[in-house]
Amino acid sequence: MTQKQTWHLPKETPAPGKVAYINARLIDPESGLDTKGALLTEGESIKDFGAKLFNDGVPEGIAVVDCGGHVLCPGLLDIQVHFREPGQEHKETIETGSKSAAAGGITTVVCQPNTRPVLDNVPILEYLKTRARESSYINIRAYASISKNMEGKELTEMGMLKDTGIVVGFTDDGLPLMSSLLMRRALEYAGMFDMPIAQHAEDIVLSDKGCINEGKISAKLGVKGICNATEAIIVARDLLLLEMTGGRYHVLHISTRQAVELVRQAKKKGLPVTAEAAPHHFILTEDAVEDYRTFAKMNPPLRTEEDRLAIIEGLKDGTIDCIATDHAPHDQESKRRPLQEASFGIVGVETMLPLSLKLVQDTQLTLRDALGKMTWRAADIIKEPAGRLKKGARADLTLIDLDHKWIIDPEAFASKSKNSPFEGFPAKGRALRTVVGGKTVYQLG
């Protein structure tokens, strides 16, 4: 039986007074706090928390939320999503994407710039800020594009874009920045503002319009593949440029064992490089494409079992800093096409938490490490003051039932789009409540 879900837009919710979250398992992944206790919010902020808070009862006049012994942790972040607004609202909007994210326990997202028009100028970013204020359930941040209109020819006015207050970095995600000279200039320019350049690492000349991983499945299905070298070549080039410039570099949705090793060695040299992995790359392999066809088509593509295990190892040893979904909603017409023609991408914000918790259930990561990849480590990449339980910090919180068993049903997603390869997947762990700025924006049951 499907449990009732309720959402509340923050702008339509009265400002909270004091709220006591009692009977909670408080987890702060950064500090290592893991204790039974309580947490108090007042307005938009965390007022206090700890094992002894409210041991003598909650004073009158304070609203009470009984957490039922479940995990209460900092709100989750997903620093790579496509909410499609403006320009492709038939696939997703700020409202539907943020509603979906809230159901996944996510309190902050970073939208990608490949909208129509591209997020490459101040007016369009101001429009995005306005739409976020009007219709978002959660905190909206954005990457602006590195190059004007994402054409890879001329840098955007990064300083002006930064000053909009919504921009946390720069990327041409959806496309790689192929020009070595422009990448060098981008790293130098963004480095002046201590902001990351995030790269979709793909040598598009080498990938040559391939549609899935180059290997046994591409050969069996008779379609053009994308080899691992397409990612590794760009990462290797960019790391050489990073060493020259001293900027900050972030690898989006890393997918190959070669790229993971390149990042690992760069970190050992002390280079300012970070990386993220998407759940589909550490859960699935290219074999899923044969069964799920276009709903398992994404870019970078699902790779081999060897690559999947390398991603997990990278998460374990810290080579890969965080988990992000690359949430990419598409309409049915775009996905239900021949494999070579179908759009890349899957939806992911409602499944990030349970799929990441599978690493804990399989003893690949500790609970602290898994939650850390979705909270403070993600926050640090974009310099966002989030992802930690701290007195005075913004009260962005996620309440999680680690034992909640459910079957993933894309038709029940709040997202406009349902393109997920995880339909019917038996999941364990789910967000029960999502709190943004002290206001409950989502509740299950």
Determine the Cα–Cα distance for residues 139 and 136; give it in Å rounded to an integer.
7
Structurally, at CATH architecture level, domain 77-92+173-381 sits in Alpha-Beta Barrel (3.20)
Domain ranges across the chain:
5-72+393-444, 77-92+173-381
326 is catalytic: yes
Kindly indicate the confidence band of residue 291, based on its pLDDT and cuts at 50, 70 and 90. Answer: confident
Helix axes 229-245, 180-191, angle to 10 degrees: 50
Kindly indicate the confidence band of residue 15, based on its pLDDT and cuts at 50, 70 and 90. Answer: confident
Mean pLDDT of the region 399-404: 98
Domain 5-72+393-444: state its class: mainly beta
Kindly indicate the confidence band of residue 295, based on its pLDDT and cuts at 50, 70 and 90. Answer: very high
Q: What is the pTM of this model?
A: 0.97
Q: Rounded to whole angstroms, what are the CA distances from 26 to 258, 372, 393, 443? A: 38, 14, 15, 18
What pLDDT, on a 0 to 100 scale, did the predictor assign at position 240? Answer: 98
DSSP code for 218: H
423: number of Cβ within 10 Å: 14
Determine the Cα–Cα distance for residues 318 and 275; give it in Å rounded to an integer.
9
Q: Which helix (H) or strand (E) holds 204?
A: helix 204-207
Handedness of CA 165, 182, 324, 388 (dihedral sign): negative
pLDDT in tens, 53-68: 999 999 999 999 999 9
What pLDDT, on a 0 to 100 scale, did the predictor assign at position 1? Answer: 52
Residue 398 has pLDDT above 90, yes or no: yes
Q: Select which of 28, 203, 321, 326 is catalytic.
A: 326
Determine the Cα–Cα distance for residues 394 and 386; give it in Å rounded to an integer.
7
What pLDDT, on a 0 to 100 scale, did the predictor assign at position 118? Answer: 98
C-alpha angle with apex 248: 257 to 81, nearest 5 degrees?
70
Kindly indicate the confidence band of residue 335, based on its pLDDT and cuts at 50, 70 and 90. Answer: very high
- Let me know: does 412 contact 101? Beta carbons within 8 Å: no
C-alpha angle with apex 9: 8 to 11, nearest 5 degrees?
130
115: number of Cβ within 10 Å: 23
Percentages helix, strand, coil for the chain, rounded to the nearest 5? 30, 25, 45
Residues of the chain with pLDDT > 70: what percent? Answer: 100
